[in-house]
Chain A
Amino acid sequence: MRLNYPTNIKIIRVPCTGKVDVMHMLGAINKGADGVYCVGCLEGSCHYNEGNLRCKERVNHVQTILEEVGIERDRVRMYNLSSGEGPTFAEYAKEMTEHIKNLGPNPLKNK
């Protein structure tokens, strides 16, 4: 498809979003990442039954932690798509990049 999406996104591949832990997301923000988003399969079609639902709960947990700390909770997000939806992947990448650009840099960066 040779689709374009923003180059500032670093992809970390995991076997399933169920593998993504609270510490993976929190650690990234603590080390200065401006945002983190998880892209899982569509709800109801996880190959491991509920990996993406677990990820969603963990994203919610990280959002709560960010709020407690005083950082915008929306720097961490969960997206869902099916593996055949390349264009949607690129679209989400653009959407997240725009969203983070609007929020500005991670406030922890200069501290």
Chain B
Amino acid sequence: MIVAERKPFDEIKEMIKERKKVLNIGCGTCVAVCLAGGEKEVDVLTTEIEMARKMDENPIEIDKITIERQCDREYLEALDDMVKDYEALLSMACGAGIQFLAERYPEIPVYPAVNTTFIGINQNVGWYEERCRSCSSCVLGMTAGVCPVTMCAKGVFNGPCGGTNKGKCEISADQPCAWYQIYERLEKQGRLDEILEVVPAQDWENQKPRTVVQPGYEKVKEES
């Protein structure tokens, strides 16, 4: 899931200080699950802004709505008749949702209320950890399910490097060495010889915006 963190309140307040009528839009998918930008967080932020602006004697008219997904046209459509009444939009969706929202309403300023942080897992309620950098060249099969791109501080594709030290990385004693973990797990699974396989260098072409069209859906892209 995509994990985000709400921006510091002062930063949000500063961004919209000149705006008098704003719509705060939440997203009911990833950011709702990671407790950053769902219905509840929208409620809290909207109230906080309202209170702060009253205190500053610069009142704001701020409304709120949470749609199922901001990265999906079908759901954004619900805002079409609504947004024209507002001076600006505040979005609590991930970076993808915010951009899609801004793309749909190019004449209205859109401000982000969260920082999109990573693709991660849920360790416990409110506790998330990064696990994937969406590099487009997954090697988890040969690294025993430990991602060297994300979990290795240097993102080394063929490791370990010379900086591995008793299970930790040379950059910090708090940073586990991903390649040590890969070694241990491969050994446990009796396939340590696979660590010798050389993985070709990352396809850096993946650094530019990527598009995925799933098999069987090619027609949709061609038609649009």
Q: Do A and B come from one complex?
A: yes
Q: Contact residues of A with B, CB < 8 Å?
A: 21-23, 26-27, 29-30, 65, 68-71, 107-108, 111
18 A-B pairs whose Cβ atoms sit less than 8 Å apart in the complex: A22-B40, A23-B44, A23-B47, A30-B51, A65-B9, A65-B44, A68-B9, A68-B10, A68-B52, A69-B55, A70-B52, A70-B55, A70-B56, A71-B55, A107-B55, A108-B54, A111-B54, A111-B59
- Asked whether B48 lies within 8 Å of A108 as measured between CB atoms, the reply is no
Given A30-B47, A108-B55, 14 more A-B residue pairs with CB atoms under 8 Å apart are A21-B40, A22-B44, A23-B44, A23-B47, A26-B47, A26-B48, A30-B51, A68-B48, A69-B48, A69-B51, A70-B56, A71-B51, A71-B55, A111-B54
Name the A residues within 8 Å of B57 (CB-CB).
111
User: Closest A-chain residue to B12, C-beta based?
Assistant: A68
User: Closest B-chain residue to A57, C-beta based?
Assistant: B126
B68 within 8 A of A: no
User: Closest B-chain residue to A23, C-beta based?
Assistant: B43
Give, as a whole number of angstroms, the nearest-CB distance from A81 to chain B. Answer: 27
Cα(A35)–Cα(B54), bound, Å: 17
Within B24-58, the residues touching A (CB, 8 Å) are: 40, 43-44, 47-48, 50-52, 54-57
Give, as a whole number of angstroms, the nearest-CB distance from A66 to chain B. Answer: 8
Taking residues whose C-beta sits less than 8 angstroms from the other chain, chain B's interface range is: 10 to 19
Cα(A26)–Cα(B47), bound, Å: 7
Cα(A71)–Cα(B48), bound, Å: 11
Cα(A24)–Cα(B95), bound, Å: 30
Cα(A50)–Cα(B59), bound, Å: 39
Name the A residues within 8 Å of B9 (CB-CB).
65, 68
User: Closest B-chain residue to A67, C-beta based?
Assistant: B9
Cα(A29)–Cα(B50), bound, Å: 12
Give, as a whole number of angstroms, the nearest-CB distance from A67 to chain B. Answer: 10
Cα(A70)–Cα(B9), bound, Å: 12
Cα(A26)–Cα(B51), bound, Å: 9
Cα(A21)–Cα(B52), bound, Å: 20
Name the B residues within 8 Å of A26 (CB-CB).
44, 47-48, 51
User: Closest B-chain residue to A110, C-beta based?
Assistant: B54
Q: Which of B50, B52, B54 has the largest number of chain A CB atoms within 10 A?
A: B54
User: Closest A-chain residue to B49, C-beta based?
Assistant: A69
User: Closest A-chain residue to B52, C-beta based?
Assistant: A69
Cβ 8 A contact of A65, one of B10, B48, B54: B48
Within B99-128, the residues touching A (CB, 8 Å) are: none
Cα(A30)–Cα(B46), bound, Å: 11
Cα(A107)–Cα(B52), bound, Å: 11
Cα(A22)–Cα(B45), bound, Å: 11
User: Closest B-chain residue to A64, C-beta based?
Assistant: B9
Cα(A103)–Cα(B9), bound, Å: 24
